[in-house]
C-alpha cells in the first residue's frame, strides 16, 4: 500500500508562479525525500529532509516537514516551463532498512 498520499494530483500554473505540493504519510520515518520524474524517464533526486529537521532549502526548492502531522510540503518558487514533471515524495520508514515508499505523485504543468 502507498505510504504517501500527495495532493494535488495535478497542478497547472503559469511560469513565474510558485507551486506547492503536499505529502502525507502514515508511519514513523527516518527521512523523507522528494524526486522529480520527467515523462518516461528515471527519477531525479531533489532533496532529502531528516526526521529531526523542519525545513530545508535548495535553490528554488523549499521543503518542510511536520512529523507531528506526518506531512511534508515541496515549494518551487518562480517556476519555469522546464519544471513541468511529476513530483514524488518518498519516505524511509523507521526500521525499514533504507527502503523507500513512494507517494502517489503530483503532475505539475508550468505553462508559458
Q: How far is CA 69 from CA 11, 49, 83, 95, in A?
A: 23, 15, 28, 20
Q: What does the alpha-carbon distance between residue 52 and residue 12 come to, in Å, rounded to a whole number? A: 32
Query: Shortest Cβ distance from residue 69 to other proteins (Å)?
Result: 21
Query: Shortest Cβ distance from residue 104 to other proteins (Å)?
Result: 5
Residue 68 binds other proteins, judged by CB under 8 A:
no
Beta-bridged to residue 36, according to DSSP, are 44, 87
Stretch that binds other proteins, among 12-20, 30-38, 66-74, 75-83 (CB under 8 A): 30-38
Q: What does the alpha-carbon distance between residue 88 and residue 24 come to, in Å, rounded to a whole number? A: 11
Residue 40 binds other proteins, judged by CB under 8 A:
yes
Residue 48 binds other proteins, judged by CB under 8 A:
yes
Binding mask 88-107 for other proteins (x = CB under 8 A): x---x----xxxxxxxxx--
CB 47 within 8 A of CB 63: yes
- Chain residues binding other proteins by CB under 8 A are 2, 30-31, 33, 35, 40-45, 48, 88, 92, 97-105
Amino acid at each position: 500500500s502507498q505510504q504517501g498520499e500527495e495532493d494535488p494530483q495535478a497542478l497547472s500554473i503559469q511560469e513565474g508562479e510558485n507551486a506547492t505540493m503536499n505529502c502525507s504519510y502514515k508511519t514513523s520515518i527516518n527521512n523523507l525525500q522528494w524526486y522529480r520524474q520527467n515523462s518516461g524517464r528515471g527519477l531525479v533526486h531533489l532533496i532529502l529532509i531528516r526526521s529531526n529537521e523542519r525545513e530545508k532549502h535548495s535553490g528554488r526548492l523549499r521543503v518542510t516537514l511536520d512529523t507531528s502531522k506526518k506531512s511534508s510540503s515541496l515549494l518551487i518558487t518562480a517556476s519555469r516551463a522546464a519544471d513541468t514533471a511529476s513530483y514524488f515524495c518518498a519516505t524511509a520508514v523507521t526500521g525499514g532498512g533504507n527502503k523507500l515508499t513512494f507517494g502517489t505523485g503530483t503532475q505539475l504543468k508550468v505553462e508559458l
